[in-house]
Every structure is written in structure tokens, then in C-alpha cells.
Chains A and B, each alone.
Chain A
Amino acid sequence: MEDRFDRNVRFFGQEGQARLRESTVAVVGIGGIGTHVVQQLAFLGVGGLVLIDHEDVSESNRNRYVGLQHDDPVPGMRKVDLGERIAVSVDPSMHIHKTPNSVMSHEGIDALMKSRYVFGCVDCEGVRLFLTEACARYALPYVDAATDILPEEALRYGGRVCVAWDGHGCQVCLGVLDNAAAHMALGGESVRRERAAIYGVEHGMLDMVGPSVVSLNGVIASVAVTEFMVGVTGLRKPRRLLTYRGHLGGLTVSNDEPAPDCYYCTGLWGGRGGQELRRFWEHKHGNPEP
């Protein structure tokens, strides 16, 4: 084992380091949380990275994306290229595949299916639901990380990490995912218009950009990568749900049991049903965007 991992090995052993080295990890969303995650995975010694993000870096990202340099061209820089640079700057020997497409595209699905673990670092409930389904179907451990700042009268801020590791708990049955928002996001323009006509204009349709800061992203990314690390190396089983309440200064671990009849954990987990993801997705939601 390389000397650069000596301090890792002293923590979780040669076998743990070898397991990390053999891991190929997909990071979906190379943004405020995703850039932290990529950097930490590289330091841990993960062997392969699949980077999936269809967006370019924007000017307002400069306050929190680790690895983004002051003179990087914005606009004009793809987030997957930033992710690659972050990883390679730490470990040039990493195997990296970049997919500058939505994860809900043929290219995104193909890339996702080449990984053994998945990090979801996105801000769309629809994508979260998609990843929940995809990972459950193919028994891929899925770590979802999200921050939240609610600029209301009583300011609340923090985030949470939800880990669907072995079919015993996911964002849906732990009540983390906003199903209505997810289905609206996946339903397309007609569904959004219909819903707006009934309920008024949704917050998400206003294309509002919320507050976001580097430290909250860093806390949540670190918690997410730690749960991944302990799971892969065998230090302990990852926790299903961890919530950071920054306004209170505390991290809580949920002891809630997942729903025993969860469709994703019990019905889909491990590919039962035997369908291939692409056909399943096309049948259920139509042909993915190119």
C-alpha cells in the first residue's frame, strides 16, 4: 500500500484501504456539496470516480465550491471538469469518467451503472427519487446529502445525510423526500402548469436561488463521506439518517425504523423484477432527455 495512505491504514486497516481502492463511486451533482465529496473521496483513496453533472459553473458558485480558482473561466467551465481537476490534483492515479449530462439521460444512466456506490449531491427532489429507485433496483448503496437554509423569521439552517445502504431504509420510507415535489419535477411542464393552476405558483417554479455557504456544505459532505467510509471499510454500519441543525449547533442521529412495507427497500431492492433500468425508466417516465 502506498505511504500516502499510511494514516488511513492506521485507522481502518489494509483491508479497509483496499476496499476503498477497489471502489468506483458515482457523484451526481458536482456543486457545493459534490466538490467537497469528490475531494474527500480522492483523499480517502477511492479508486474510481464517475462524475455526473450537466451544468456549468456560474459566478455565484465562487463562494463555496472547493477547488474553484479565482481565475477559472466563468461561464465556460463544466462542473464535471472541475470535479476531475479536484480529484486528479489529489490523486492522479484515479480512474475518472465524466458525464456532462443529466443523470436522467441515457448517458447518465449508463455512467451510473458503472459504479458500486452513489452519492447524490443534488437540489432536485425528482432526481433524488430517480436515484432512490435506480440504486434500490441494483442494490447500490446510495448516500444522499443536502443542506437547507430557511430564511424565515426564526432563521433555521443545517442539512441532512440519508444513507440507503442495504435495503433497510431510504429517503422515501424515512420521510425525508418531498414526494409531491419529486413527482412534480418528474412530471414535466404540463404537470407543473396543472398544479400551478390549482394551487398557485409553486416556490420551485419561480427559479429562486436560495442562500448557500461553504461551511454548511462542508459539514454535510464530511458526514456523508464518513458514513460511506465506515460502511465500505467495515468499521460499522452506516446510519440511515443524520441531521445537522446548524442553528442549534448539533448533529442528531435518527433511530426511526424504516417503513416495513417500503416499495423501494423491499419491492425493488436487488433488482427483483429483473427489468433493466433503461426500459423501466422509459416505460414509467418516457424516453429520458438526451
Chain B
Amino acid sequence: MVRMVIEAERFDTLLQHLFPEDFAGERAAFLFAKTVSDGGTVQFEAVEHLFVDESGVRYSSLGYLELTDETRGRVIKRAHDLETSLVELHSHRLPFPAEFSPTDIDGLREFVPHVWWRLKGRPYLAVVAAPESFDGLAWIPDTERAERLDALVIGDRVIQTTGRSIRGWYQAYGRSI
């Protein structure tokens, strides 16, 4: 089981960033998280965040988001300095349950091996936030394959994910990274 743990206040701020009222396009953010393994559960516990502003985005629209290379390098370096794992989050603005799109999955397929190499194999988590739900995929070094994110723990509140993305991932790329 994979869970993401975040304080309620940080989560509220994160949602405001991902779903701004004055901008209809997709937005991105990163969390720097300690990973805790307990039995069969892996938790990503947020300790710091970075909200990506306009200067860190190459292109954003209602249905698509692409970050600059500088942004990617910056967050990897910060995670390296903090000795944390990296959690990427982005919003989907269309009215569908949360699920990574084919372009998201293509991007993860390129980015995750790079992050693993740069951060020496630390666990990596990607989260997509839709208007009314969440989903995510995690890469844990010991398993060396994508795992579904099961839940978000916000303070004492638990939100179950849709679990839709894992099927799309395996449909496109099988069980390997």
C-alpha cells in the first residue's frame, strides 16, 4: 500500500495553487517528502513544497502542461539537498475522475528513470488532481515497477484515490518502468 501524508494547511494551499479561480489551465507543484516503510506500506510524508509558477512552465492549457527543463533540474537538486523523495503533482481541469493521460504517462516514462538516476533510486510519487478526485503512481526501488497510490492522508482525513492510472500504465508499457 502506498500513501501520501500531508498537513491540512499545506494541502489547502496546494489545492488553491492547482485550481486557481483566475486561470483555467493545468498547474503543477512538487512536494519534498520523507519516505517511511512499515510492513507493506510506504508513506510519502511531505516536509516542504514548491509551487511552480508561470516562469517554470513551458506550456499550459486546459488539457496539457509542460514544465521547463530548469524547473525539473531545480526540484531534483532541492530533493537531493534535503535528502528527500520527490512528489510531483499536477491538476486536470476537465470534468473527469482523476487519471493520468497518455501524455502524462509518456512523460513519466521519460522522467522517472532520470529522477531515479539523479536521486540514487529514492522512491518517486506522481499525483494527478482532478476537480473531485485524485490518483497517483509510485515507483519504489525494491519493487522496480509502478505501484498505485492508494490514499492521501490529510491531517486525520483519508481520501481514497480512483486507482485508474495503473491500468493505463500497464496497458501502455507493461510492468517494467
Contacts and interface: CB of A to CB of B under 8 A. Distances in A.
Given A22-B164, A139-B172, A276-B103, A113 B96 contact: no
Contact of A110 (B64, B97, B109, B168): B64
Given A107-B61, A138-B172, A271-B102, A276 B96 contact: no
B103 A138 contact: yes
B63 interface: yes
A95 B97 contact: yes
B94 interface: yes
A208 to B, nearest CB: 35
A160 B22 CA distance: 46
B107 interface: yes
A114 B92 contact: yes
Interface in B56-87: 59, 61-64, 66
Contacts of B103: 113, 138, 276-277
Contacts of A22: 97, 164, 167
B101 A276 contact: no
A138 B63 contact: no
Interface in B25-73: 59, 61-64, 66
A28 to B, nearest CB: 15
B62 A107 contact: yes
Contacts of B171: 139
Interface string A248-290: 0000000000000000000000110010111000000000000
B150 interface: no
Contacts of B156: none
Interface SS of chain A = mixed
A50 B64 CA distance: 15
A47 interface: yes
A247 B103 CA distance: 43
Interface in A65-114: 95-97, 106-107, 109-111, 113-114
A104 to B, nearest CB: 15
A178 B87 CA distance: 46
A116 interface: yes
B109 A274 contact: yes
Contacts of B144: none
A35 interface: no
B102 A140 contact: yes
Contact of B96 (A48, A106, A138, A139): A48
Contacts of A50: 94
Give the one of B95, B102, B172 with max A CB within 10 A: B102
A116 B66 CA distance: 20
B64 A113 contact: yes
A278 B66 CA distance: 11
Given A106-B61, A271-B172, A138 B97 contact: no
A278 B106 CA distance: 13
Contacts of B59: 278
A147 interface: no
A17 interface: no
B131 to A, nearest CB: 10
B24 to A, nearest CB: 11
A146 to B, nearest CB: 24
Given A271-B106, A271-B172, A274-B109, A110 B99 contact: no
B66 A114 contact: no
A24 B96 contact: yes
20 contacts: A24-B96, A50-B94, A96-B95, A97-B95, A97-B96, A107-B62, A110-B64, A111-B94, A113-B63, A114-B63, A138-B102, A138-B106, A138-B172, A140-B102, A271-B102, A271-B105, A274-B110, A276-B66, A276-B107, A278-B64
Given A47-B97, A140-B102, A271-B102, 12 more contacts: A24-B96, A95-B95, A95-B97, A96-B95, A107-B61, A113-B63, A113-B101, A116-B168, A271-B109, A274-B110, A276-B107, A278-B59
